[in-house]
A = this chain, B = another copy of it.
Amino acid sequence: MCGIVGVFCNDVDLTPHITYYALFSLQHRGQESAGMAVSGVGVNLYKDMGLVSEVFSNKILSMLKGNSSIGHVRYSTTGQSRIENAQPLAVKSRYGSIAVAHNGNLVNYRELRKELEIDGKVFHTDSDTEVIVYLLSSYLLDNDLETALSMLTKKLMGSFTLTLLLNDMVVGYRDPMGFKPLCVGEGEFGYIIASESCAIDSVGAELIRDVRPGEAVIIEDGDLRFEKIAGSDKKCVCVFEYIYFARPDSVIDGRNVYRVRYNIGRTLAKESPAEVDLVSPVPDSGTTSSIGYAHESGKPYLEALIKNRYVGRTFIIPGQENRELSVKLKMNVLRDNVNGKRVLLIDDSIVRGTTSRKIVELVRKAGAKEIHFRVGSPPIVSPCYFGIDMSTREELIASEKSVEDIRRDIMADSLAYLSLEGLLDSVGIRREDLCLACLTSRYPVPVECAMKC
């Protein structure tokens, strides 16, 4: 899971700043590394480990002049937290300069890489982005952009939403299944392509529309056009963008994320009511659905937990071994709000269950009489192979246990998940246009081969 950006800006000095602002707004999509490639006098690339605000200084931005750029923030899916894997990936070939920022995951990465290796290709990194760069680069040698993207699409399996800097042309492309989002905005400065609309807002631009699955958006010589590259029987928009990942102030494929989460809360209230004194979120991801639940149920919305806002990506608790002591550093209970009360807690989802159990325990110790846990999604039963990393770091509690077992595990008085129907209603997108694989185990593409370590 990453955030990507493409910018065309009339003012060569402004381009890196626009890109910076957009990346900063997408920081929640990846905190491990950040980078941008800017096409001015040649293509200049700058990337490093760390947050956007740590990687870029005014001095660095001022050295990256040009009209076109792409940017990337990376989420560490594996333990491989190395500068070599930072993006964009930029190369030169007979075609000229090619830089690629990728959000997604190729399920046939290993086969493609083997194929390319057999063909004599030489790899500098371990990332699937290099496979994309190599294929694209070879297609571009003898084909126009549209054909090259179409050929690429036939070859790649999995999710791949891309921004490309091809010499000074900026391109956004979304794979035909459209797993990962991409949208386009226009401002006084020029154009912006970004993973989420909040990035468009952040630079004072207006959303034009989402890039459709299988569609490319091409900004060439200051002109923007959309091109249909590849059709698909079936769209496959990742439902977890709505449930958890995207920022609530983004609009994805026409659906307002905040509204979806609010609906989820309301639906949950209808599906799984409870006699409680207050409705409380597990902050921050449960906040919006809690408000929806409270409104629908008529029960008061009141916070039970305060999250320490300084718990960040790089936060390592010294002396982790003193686990007993360190538990409460991240969240504290508002004892006064829960003491003697029947509390309903809502989180967006449950992955391993460990955090949920700790939270229930904290609230219980603070005197809550009853704790009813509600989850804003159906149980996650299968891993995702399309770029959201739920599986690799931990086992999915719902893949093996019944809801009742999980309830007992997390020690809640009641536990209810959102139904799949309820989710679909809340999102407001047709079932056949959504990826629901992690909830249903029905994968939109064959993934047997894909067991990425």
Contact = CB atoms under 8 A, between A and B. Distances in A.
Contacts of A303: 248, 258, 287-288, 291
Contact of A91 (B124, B251, B327): B124
Interface in A314-341: 314-319, 322, 324-329, 332-334, 336-337
A138 interface: yes
Interface in A292-309: 294-295, 300-303, 306, 308-309
A251 to B, nearest CB: 8
Interface stretch (A15-23, A221-229, A387-395, A407-415): A15-23
B284 A291 contact: no
Contact of A117 (B94, B120, B294): B94
> How many of these chains are in the complex?
4
A445 interface: no
A375 to B, nearest CB: 21
A308 B24 contact: yes
Given A53-B310, A118-B94, A258-B336, A319 B58 contact: yes
B322 A14 contact: yes
B319 A17 contact: yes
A318 B124 contact: no
Nearest to A45: B84
A124 B202 CA distance: 32
Kindly name the residue among A56, A118, A291 whose own CB sees the greatest number of chain B CB atoms within 10 A: A291
Contact of A306 (B18, B247, B300, B315): B247
Given A24-B310, A93-B122, A318 B57 contact: yes
A247 B307 CA distance: 10
Given A21-B329, A53-B314, A120 B138 contact: yes
Interface in A100-141: 117-118, 120-124, 133-134, 137-138, 141
Q: Nearest 9 A-B pairs (CB), nearest first?
A: A17-B319, A94-B117, A249-B306, A58-B318, A249-B332, A256-B336, A93-B122, A91-B122, A27-B310
8 contacts: A17-B318, A53-B310, A53-B312, A61-B318, A61-B319, A91-B123, A94-B120, A258-B303
